[in-house]
Amino acid sequence: MNRKRLIDVASGKEKADLVLKNVNLINTLSGEIYLTDVAVVDGIIAGIVPGYSGEIEKDCKGLYLSPGFIDGHVHIESSMVGVNEFARAILPHGTTTVIADPHEIANVLGNKGIEYIIRSSENLPLNVYLMLPSCVPATHLETSGAILDAEALSEFKDHPKVLGLGEFMNYPGVIGTFDDVIDKLDLFSDKIIDGHAPEVTGKNLCAYRAAGVSSEHECTTVKEALEKLRVGMYIMLREGSATKNLRDLMPLLNKFNSRFCIFSTDDRHPDDLLTEGHIDNMVKILVKEQGNITRAVRLASKNAAEYFGLKDLGAIAPGYKADMLLIEDFSDMKIKEVYKDGKLVAQDGKCIVDPKPLKFNEVLDTVRLSDVKKEDLEIKTSKENVFINTIEIIPSQIITRKVKVKALVKENKIISDVQNDILKFCVLERHNATGNIGKGFVKGMGLKSGAIATTVSHDSHNMNVIGNNDLDMFTCIKHLEKTGGGIAIAENGKILGSLSLEIAGLMTGEKLEVVAEKIKELHKICYELGIKIKDPFITMAFLALPVIHEIKLTDKGLVDINKFDFIDLIEEI
């Protein structure tokens, strides 16, 4: 920054590079909307009063000017595309800054995964800041591709793009003062520590906050969010693909506490990015429901900037970065133009820059299975009458129920009971070829024939496969092993459809539109096979996550989340 030139432009002695004339400025500092001019020089806002002249002057009569939007917590990997393609997707929706937690790719590749996200975000017209993954693996109940202790995380602690420690989902470890947890909390005591503690309350919540955790994005009720606000935590209002909590939490907001709330998408998938948008979708919802433009824009920008200490973001004011949006209308959220550092990067819903991908061989070839045979999927029993602890899917939720059902036994093997919608479910460790295969059953998927599989499986991202027979399950497994991960569907021993996610088994170098179209095709095949879940792959991805209630399956076995321990699949009568 040329400070002298900035001052001279601000004082009117020199022309600005760009002047936006007659804009309705949404001022996130004063809470006002008023008509003025905005002058920009060297990517910095110089002045916000009428009367500036510039090399380029644009009459913006009738348009609103907002600071660029900030996503306070997002896993870029959930978009299934590279960082460059993610940027191309969200810039037209007004998001110019994201706070990314590379938790997913770190569970596969450890520090190599973090390095990939950092290097991929260089030279992009998007601010990508990181919160380092705090729980790799998330628990001792699963096998991940890496273990990131305090020493491993220290490698990136002082990187300029790193703001702190990401969602600390091991809240039992925090409350129980486990040594490895305390080491991480101590290491990041001078930085921000994000939370993940659904339904933690009372003294345990006080202990969690006292440990230094200062935000929460897992609130689903006003009561829970209010209690966490009271102990000093910022509340991230989340509107992802699998978890949508914004409307439930909107009654929380008032003139006083709304400044401690932030917008977050957490996990948003390709089709939703294309059809619903990003943070702009949350702004539209809040304006429609509450009619308060300045509040909505502040939640989308300044609040996150303040929480994360990004002093030059979140407002249109002298000395701030010229990350700006020209908005035509808030009812359908029409964003006319998007500026990043004073340069036009998106117009009329299209990105006009072409962010380049990073070629990084270290993130490829990450599916490493043992020599799996079809027989390895069998579940044997010597009894005819047995009950099995089963995972019951709750539609549109990532939580599940534990139900006990009578098993269907044939030739001393427990098999899928399609008539009662009980399907075999296996989780295969795919990082270190240990040979671990967690075996169980899931109810509520609706699959009548064939099998589906994916390597997108929160949080350790092992290989999940569900089917009504072992042949099709095995066919999916071998296909994903060959392609380096992704999604596969099989029937009668043949692959009906697949999506290759060659980057860590989570992402691809394809365009977002291509990925979204392929997923639509895969959904169509799923529905033809009888699946009744709206998005089976999102649902499937959370069936192995042992930090979300009530019962899950990992590569090590069936987990009762209430007990935070393994339970037997089979209970003999």
Q: What is the pLDDT along the chain (573 residues), one digit of tens a residue?
A: 799 999 999 999 999 999 999 999 999 999 999 999 999 999 999 999 999 999 999 999 999 999 999 999 999 999 999 999 999 999 999 999 999 999 999 999 999 999 999 999 999 999 999 999 999 998 889 999 999 999 999 999 999 999 999 999 888 899 999 999 999 999 999 999 999 998 899 999 999 999 999 999 999 999 999 999 999 999 999 999 888 999 999 999 999 999 999 999 999 999 999 999 999 999 999 999 999 999 999 999 999 999 999 999 999 999 999 999 999 999 999 999 999 999 999 999 999 998 888 888 899 999 999 999 999 999 999 888 899 999 999 987 888 999 999 999 999 999 999 999 999 999 999 999 999 999 999 999 999 999 999 999 999 999 999 999 999 999 999 999 999 999 999 999 999 999 999 999 999 999 999 999 999 999 999 999 999 998 899 999 999 999 888 999 999 999 999 888 999 999 876
Q: Could you read off the pLDDT of 27-46 as tens digits, one per residue?
A: 999 999 999 999 999 999 99
User: Which of 15, 24, 28 lies closest to 302 in space, CA to CA?
Assistant: 28
Q: Is residue 20 part of a domain?
A: no
- Is residue 92 in some structural domain? yes
Last residue in a domain, options 282, 314, 346: 314
In the chain, the amino acid numbered 161 is K
With respect to residue 273, please indicate whether it lies within any of the assigned structural domains. Answer: yes
For tokens 């973001």, the residue is: 313
Task: State the chain's maximal CA–CA distance in angstroms.
Answer: 90
The DSSP 8-state label assigned to residue 76 in this structure reads G
- CATH code of the domain containing 175: 3.20.20.140
What is the phi/psi pair of residue 565, to 5°?
-160, 170
The single-letter DSSP state of residue 355 is P
In this prediction, residue 359 carries a pLDDT of 83
Claim to verify: residue 290 and residue 407 sit in the same structural domain = no
Task: Among 285, 314, 343, identify where a domain stops.
Answer: 314
Residue 290 within a domain: yes
Distance (Å, rounded) from C-alpha 87 to C-alpha 378?
Answer: 44
The predicted-structure confidence for 522-533, as pLDDT tens digits, reads as follows: 999 999 999 999
| Amino acid letter, 39 | A
**Same-domain status, 135 and 255:** yes
Residues 401, 501 within the same domain: yes
Tell me whether residue 39 is in a domain: no
* Rounded CA separation 347/93 (Å): 10
Q: Is 541 left (phi over 0), alpha (psi -120 to 50) or beta?
A: alpha
Query: Same domain, yes or no, for 448 and 550?
Result: yes
Confidence (pLDDT) at 358: 83
DSSP labels, 44-61: EEEE-STT--EEEEEE-T
Which residues share a beta bridge with 339? 324, 344
**Pairing outcome for strands 400-406 and 386-393:** antiparallel
Which pLDDT score is estimated for 573?
A: 62
Q: Are residues 268 and 404 in the same domain?
A: no
CA distances from 299 to 193, 321, 338, 341, 558 (A): 19, 18, 18, 21, 40
- Same domain flag for 259 and 369: no
Last residue of a domain, one of 254, 288, 314: 314
Q: Within this chain, do residues 415 and 300 fall inside the same structural domain, yes or no?
A: no
Integer-rounded Cα Rg, in Å, for the chain is 25
Task: Kindly provide the residue ranges of all beta strands, DSSP E only, lying in 44-108, ordered along the sequence.
Answer: 44-47, 54-59, 64-67, 69-74, 95-100
Structurally, the chain folds into a number of domains equal to 2
Residue 336 within any structural domain of the chain: no
Same domain, 167 and 245: yes
Alpha-carbon span 334 to 346, nearest angstrom? 12
The sheet carrying 215-216 orders its strands as: 215-216, 234-238, 261-264
Phi and psi dihedrals of 54, rounded to 5?
A: -145, 165
In a domain, residue 122? The reply is yes
Domain that holds residue 407: 364-572
Write the single-letter amino acid at 490: A
Instruction: Give long-range contacts, CB 8 A cutoff, 24+ apart: 217-225.
Output: 217/72, 217/73, 217/167, 217/264, 217/266, 219/245, 219/249, 220/245, 220/248, 220/249, 221/248, 221/249, 222/248, 222/249, 222/251, 222/252, 224/198, 224/199, 225/249, 225/252
Beta strands 463-467 and 422-428, pairing class: antiparallel
Check: CB of residue 127 under 8 Å from CB of residue 395: no
Same domain, 106 and 182: yes
Q: Judge if 304 and 373 occupy the same domain.
A: no
Using an 8 Å Cβ cutoff, are 248 and 222 in contact? yes
pLDDT reported for residue 534: 86
Q: Kindly state whether residue 382 falls inside one of the protein's structural domains.
A: yes
Residues 383 and 304 in one domain: no
Residue type at 395 in one-letter notation: P
| Structure token digits, residue 389 | 């602890």
Same domain, 302 and 369: no
Amino acid at 538: I
